[in-house]
Amino acid sequence: MKKILLGLLICAFSNLAIADDGEGMWLPLLLKSLNEAEMQSMGMKMSAEDIYSVNKGSLKDAIVHFGGFCTSELISDQGLLLTNHHCGYGQIQSHSSVGKNYLKDGFWAQNMAAELPNAGLTATFIVRIEDVTKDVFEGVTQKMTLKERQSTIDKNLAAVEQNVKLESHEDVVIKPFYKGNQYFLFVTTTYRDVRLVGAPPESIGKFGSDTDNWVWPRHTGDFALFRIYAGKDNLPADYSEDNVPYKPKHFLPISVDGVEADDFTLVFGFPGRTNQYLPKVAVAQTVDILNPAKIGIRDKALKIVDAEMRKDEATKIKYASKFARIANYWKKWIGESQGIKTTDGIGRKIKFEKEFTEAIAKNKKTKKAYGNILPEFEKLYKAIEPYAQSRDYYNEVMGRNIELFRTASLMKRLIGQYEQNGEAGYLGFRDRLSNYLKDFYKNYSPKIDQQVCSALLDMYIKNAAIKEATTGIYPTPTIRISYPDFIKSLYTKTAFTTQEGLDKIFQMESEAAVAKIKEDPVYKLYVQINDQYNEHVSKPYNEYKEQIDAVQRNYMKALIEVFPEKRFYPDANSTMRVTYGQVKGYQPRDAVTYTPSTYLSGVMEKYKPGDYEFDVPQKLIELYKAKDYGDYGENGKMPVCFIGSNHTTGGNSGSPAIDAHGNLIGLNFDRVWEGTMSDINYDPSICRNIMVDIRYVLFIVDKFAGAKWIVDEMKLVHPKRK
């Protein structure tokens, strides 16, 4: 049965246009049928089986989902794991304090015993992938309503999960692909003891910081080293001193021969989310309504936090990670909107939709089945617009930027536990919560949060399109309290701003604790805002969204059917993907050409002594002056970063860049400014991913940090030497 399905899929993709533009995030198990020939024509010397095999060790066994949000790869036979500095940032930060600041000074374990454990950090392997589409659609018919269809699918999903054969240390997840036209199952193994081995100082690992973020030319050594530990049986185990370094099925050898323009590159990892098949009306909504709303909110929040971070070092450490996270997508959305405008993304969608309309009109059957899709999209996106805008407002303001309300939302879940599962539910959740909150309060300043709240809650009330969501939040007419006083009183009266406040509640009997929480003014306000949101925004939003998703599923099906000569890849969904391209510069605008590599001389050009973004460590300056690059330099220069035409997105951070033979040549960490719209509107001429040159990583570990013992563990190779 599986063979037939695969056959169908291949049929759908026959007549593949051979392009070398790098677009696409492909499923490893379909490379053989869809991509191998093209990859080899672009210079790859491996087979699809070398990349993904269930039966023998292959590249995929070296690719690890890091914490569920980034990618990492094994680079030694002792479980040594390479990922980005910004992926390990939270961990590096959590081991830091003012006296022992690993963010500022870097951290290098002197030996394995000195590596630092990280509670909660995981490393997940993909054991195998299976197409389960047929089983998931068992009993689904055209005539079903959306609800009936979904409930049949849900039942089937549960049955497939039940029936899959797993070892005791394995897990399973099933995910929809091609907008729900296909389902794949993933068997995974997750390791739970992952320790920090080394990280450069921020002045290397985050060089250029937010100014250079999403920008080429780039000079950031965005890497960190971890190690996976296992039980004596090499299987996952909770942290223990007795655990031993994990022995991988495969790890990546490292090429020290460098890269040049047009070299084949493959990026292997876990891209998070893309939206390549949106209709024009949805892209326009993103650019005109949703992005500006989110950008405006974060603008305000960032300004407030930035001003406080500049005042003292303790605040800077506390808020560094949060600030970077908020600033990252704030900047991305700005670039995305700009990029869609400059590449005429809307115009391109209009042209494509015209082509689509003509293609379906050629045949009565397709016209009947798909003729309604675009008009439906128009109607539904218009209808969802105010709800989508208010939802983004709510999520940004209540769910992300005002931390006090995030705490309140956790309290609401705690009470939910009590009401549904009684004492036991309450106690279990309380203990988890209290652990989580211990870390949270270490990096929390009520003073900063109060300013953020004051600015953002007001924006939500004034700007959210659905007014019923916000009426009555601010109680002026009854209580006659000024807005600033209203916010101030929230922060003074609540128990949620300090660890002590909550500890007091958590020490009470459950019933008393629940009553106490319910009386808290912040809890009350949160519940009010949340209820109004659920009723007036979330409910209608979800109803429209469900219909949009159904139309989108049909659209995807139609595209595959009516454009058999085009090759479609599924949108990213945090599952393992392969993307490939070449080392390549680009022309961002008239008369400007970017070459694909940067060098240490460029770090020195950007150097601003004392500046928190562009300072350079003294030791690095000395190595530069002495040209002391060991075996890692190239004609007297030290390479730092390079770009390529690989199609990547958030989640691909930490992904390996692999050469034609399967060796590691770089470490993916970002994309270029002009191409940040690639999630919605990929343009091969300007979409580039940014990687750290692996030789820079080796140079920093060996020459800068003097941690040669770590390099000695790796396998360095020379594939280009004759």
The residues of the shown chain that bind ligand ASP, judged by CB under 6 A, are: 648-653, 669-671
Which listed option, ligand ASP, ligand ARG, none, makes contact with residue 327 (CB within 5 to 8 Å by class)? ligand ARG
Interaction mask 79-98, ligand ARG, x per CB under 6 A: -------x------------
Give the whole-angstrom CA distance, residue 333 versus residue 292: 8
By CB under 6 A, residue 655 contacts ligand ARG:
no
Question: In the range 295-314, which residues lie near ligand ARG by CB under 6 A?
Answer: none
Amino acid at the residue 11: C
Nearer to ligand ARG, 575 or 668 (CB): 668
Interaction mask 624-653, ligand ARG, x per CB under 6 A: --------------------------x--x
Stretch that binds ligand ARG, among 165-173, 271-279, 324-332, 632-640 (CB under 6 A): 324-332
Number of residues assigned to the chain: 722
Stretch that binds ligand ARG, among 47-55, 202-210, 557-565, 633-641 (CB under 6 A): 202-210
Burial class for 615, CB neighbours closer than 10 Å (0-12, 13-18, 19+): middle
Cis peptide before 217 (omega within 30 of 0): yes
By CB under 6 A, residue 450 contacts ligand ARG:
no
Which listed option, ligand ASP, ligand ARG, none, makes contact with residue 24 (CB within 5 to 8 Å by class)? none
Q: Which residue is nearest to ligand ASP (CB)?
A: 653
Q: Hey, CA dihedral for 414, 419, 420, 421, is it positive or negative?
A: positive
Q: How far is CA 271 from CA 178, 276, 354, 394, 663, in A?
A: 15, 13, 30, 26, 21
**From candidates 328, 338, 542, 685, binder to ligand ARG by CB under 6 A:** 328
Give the whole-angstrom CA distance, residue 464 versus residue 288: 15
Could you tell me if 202 and 57 are in contact, meaning their C-beta atoms sit under 8 angstroms apart? no
Centroid of chain to Cα 79: 23
By CB under 6 A, residue 316 contacts ligand ARG:
no
Q: Shortest approach of ligand ASP to residue 268 CB, angstroms?
A: 14
Active site residue 536: no
Helix (H) or strand (E) holding 116: strand 116-117
Helix (H) or strand (E) holding 642: strand 639-644
Which residue of the set 65, 86, 250, 536 is catalytic? 86
Active site residue 263: no
Nearer to ligand ASP, 245 or 654 (CB): 654
Which residue of the set 61, 135, 212, 222 is catalytic? 222
By CB under 6 A, residue 574 contacts ligand ARG:
no
Which listed option, ligand ARG, ligand ASP, none, makes contact with residue 499 (CB within 5 to 8 Å by class)? none
Q: Shortest approach of ligand ASP to residue 333 CB, angstroms?
A: 12
Stretch that binds ligand ARG, among 208-216, 274-282, 584-592, 605-613 (CB under 6 A): 208-216
Q: How many residues bind ligand ARG (CB under 6 A)?
A: 13
Which listed option, ligand ASP, ligand ARG, none, makes contact with residue 115 (CB within 5 to 8 Å by class)? none
Nearer to ligand ARG, 84 or 575 (CB): 84
Give the whole-angstrom CA distance, residue 706 versus residue 694: 17
By CB under 6 A, residue 327 contacts ligand ARG:
yes
**Which residue do the tokens 């690095």 mark?**
620
Separation of first and last alpha carbons in the chain: 48
Stretch that binds ligand ARG, among 109-117, 209-217, 477-485, 542-550 (CB under 6 A): 209-217
Q: Shortest approach of ligand ASP to residue 126 CB, angstroms?
A: 18
**From candidates 49, 105, 210, 549, binder to ligand ARG by CB under 6 A:** 210
Tokens describing residue 383: 């209808």
Which residue of the set 76, 653, 655, 678 is catalytic? 653
Q: Hey, CA dihedral for 143, 148, 151, 155, is it positive or negative?
A: negative
Residues 6+ apart with CB under 8 A from 692: 220, 221, 222, 223, 640, 641, 666, 667, 669
Q: Shortest approach of ligand ARG to residue 6 CB, angstroms?
A: 34
Give the whole-angstrom CA distance, residue 156 versus residue 44: 40
Stretch that binds ligand ARG, among 43-51, 175-183, 302-310, 322-330 (CB under 6 A): 322-330
DSSP string, 419-437: HHHHHHHHHHHHHHHHHHH
Active site residue 653: yes
Give the whole-angstrom CA distance, residue 517 versus residue 419: 13
Tokens describing residue 542: 């979800």
**From candidates 107, 214, 418, 491, binder to ligand ARG by CB under 6 A:** 214
Give the whole-angstrom CA distance, residue 68 versus residue 48: 25
Q: Shortest approach of ligand ARG to residue 401 CB, angstroms?
A: 16
Which listed option, ligand ASP, ligand ARG, none, makes contact with residue 651 (CB within 5 to 8 Å by class)? ligand ASP
HSE, side-chain direction, 13 A CA sphere, residue 225:
30
500-524: b (≥16 Cβ within 10 Å) or e: eebeebbeeebeebbeebeebebbe
Q: Which residues contribute to the site for ligand ARG (CB under 6 A)?
A: 86, 206, 209-210, 213-214, 324, 327-328, 650, 653, 669-670
Q: Looking at the annotation, which residues are catalytic?
A: 86, 222, 653
